[in-house]
Amino acid sequence: MPSQQWARNFTITAGDLEYLKGILLEREVPLNSEQLARALIQEHLEQEAKLREERFRNVQFYDPANTYQIGQKVMFPALEYATATIVGVRSGNNPDYGEFNVVTVNFDDGAAHGQPSRDFAADLSVPHKLSDENTNAANPLLIGDGLTADEIMSAAREDIIATLEESLLGDESIILVAGTWFPRDLIVEVNIGYRNLAEAVLDMNEGGAISTQEILNEIGGLGDVPMELQIFSMNYALSQDSRFDEVGPKGEVLWYLARLEPQEVQKTPWPLRYTAIEYDRALLSSEMLALEIEIADEQSPAERETPESVGDETQVTLAYPHRRAGTLPLNSKTRHIFPTARRTPRVSLTLVDGQDGEEYSGWVVRKEKYVYGLDQFYRKHRLPVGAYVLLEKSDDPGKIIVDFEAYRPRTEYIKLVVPHNGQLSFENHRRQIGAAYDDLMILGVDDIPAVDALHESAQTGQPKTLVSILRALIPELGKLSPQGTVHAKTLYNAVNVLRRCPPGAVFATLVANPDFQNVGGHYWKLKDAAS
């Protein structure tokens, strides 16, 4: 398509940067990347139109019946509107045409159809088909692809903006703040006094999250300059001050006092902390890889390759670390649901209880791949480990609906984690369950402090290896099954009670170590217990 071809050839020159700086100086307000890209594309289109007008000024369509003089400019519609200059005129010699002349032309672009110079008939008195064709040819001033800036942006917006931003970021005289650009020298000074007032405003609002406009309204503004420039200057000043954290979703700038953010947002909650485990992914079968994708652990290498889900809702199975930490994973199933902003590591949002509409303060911690703020929701509804959590976008991008498939609580047998003599053991116990769950992932915990202590002891001193953890867990979990076997998904969840670990490492360890035997499907047992 012409628009895509136009975009592929899109480059930023030094002249383009000066033009964009001029726009920013002229308008005296910051502009975002899309606004600057549209302005530059429109400028390129207008320059192309001017070049066409200059090229075809005083140019005559070639017609074999016309008379031409040396030095005259001629255009050939039949040769893709190539232009040329008459450099010679001589008499023709063909009895079929009577008296006529031959003109020699040099093409302006150096060649037309591979020939820099060609001869053409002139002063013909007999009819010629080119005479009729040229009469109906398009106006040369309208020649071109006819594209508009909107069409070009629609076809290749991301590529064009990426090219533009790469060039702008390389120019130190222009700075980017909260998605908008402005010349550094024209930023309004925001001194320490203004920043202290901003801190006081956020302090009175329990830390935030407050828009820049609200902060400026509270402190009386920064003078008589346009409000857009005041907002940009304040955003820049706060972004350079470690007391302030920008936490707005994409397209919105909100500020929060870093010292008042939840500790679990500033620092990854201990159940989610993962120390990388090296293993050979070549050991994983296609079935194991499929199970890894199904589990969608945010620390899985496969998460970097798995396409994100689409749509306005999704479902995720609540694994032990996230149930304990009051979080959800930011993975391929959930990333498109939660608001994110590439420019900021933390995003503030509201989590809405789909059962009763109660709202909770939540946080997307993008780099560490989790969403914090669900502990109260889990506790209120007594959701077990392994429950299916439903997520849905709302009309407000800053509000996400969190729900589950509820039913009248009924008594069911589940695996209960029971610490015993400093070890992790499991028992089947009856519990009231009122939410849909994955029966391979469900776990119950009564003595949380004791289980937490086992987790801590597994990390201190000489940390327990994954092999030793699996050796201990498989026979304990196997006691709950008539066959004495344990599903790999169950093992993954149980391992994470003691040590944060993605499923790929668990599966590869099962395959690599001769102590573990696969007995069909994803079920495993200790080899010495196979009898």
Q: What is the domain partition of the chain in residue ranges?
A: 2-54+146-173, 65-127, 187-261, 299-407, 411-529
Return the higher-pLDDT residue of 3 and 413: 413
Task: State the Rg of the chain over Cα.
Answer: 35
Q: Mark 368-401 as b/e (b = at least 16 C-beta within 10 Å).
A: bbbbbbbbebbeebebbbbbbbbbbbeeeebebb
What are the tens digits of pLDDT across the range 108-158?
Answer: 877 666 678 889 999 988 876 766 555 555 555 444 456 788 888 888 888
pLDDT tier at 309, thresholds 50, 70, 90: confident
Q: Which residue has the higher pLDDT, 328 or 116?
A: 328
Split at pLDDT 50, 70, 90, the class of 90 is very high
CATH code for 299-407? 2.40.330.10
Angstrom distance (rounded) from CA 320 to CA 360: 21
Q: What is the pLDDT of residue 389?
A: 97
210 and 201 Cβ atoms separated by less than 8 Å: yes
> 187-261, which class in CATH?
mainly alpha
Cβ distance 111 to 171 under 8 Å? no
Q: Is the predicted pLDDT of residue 481 greater than 50, yes or no?
A: yes
Pick 168 or 80 by higher pLDDT.
168
Please state the pTM of the whole predicted model: 0.75
Alpha carbon distance 320, 326 (integer Å): 10
What is the predicted pLDDT for the residue at 112? Answer: 66
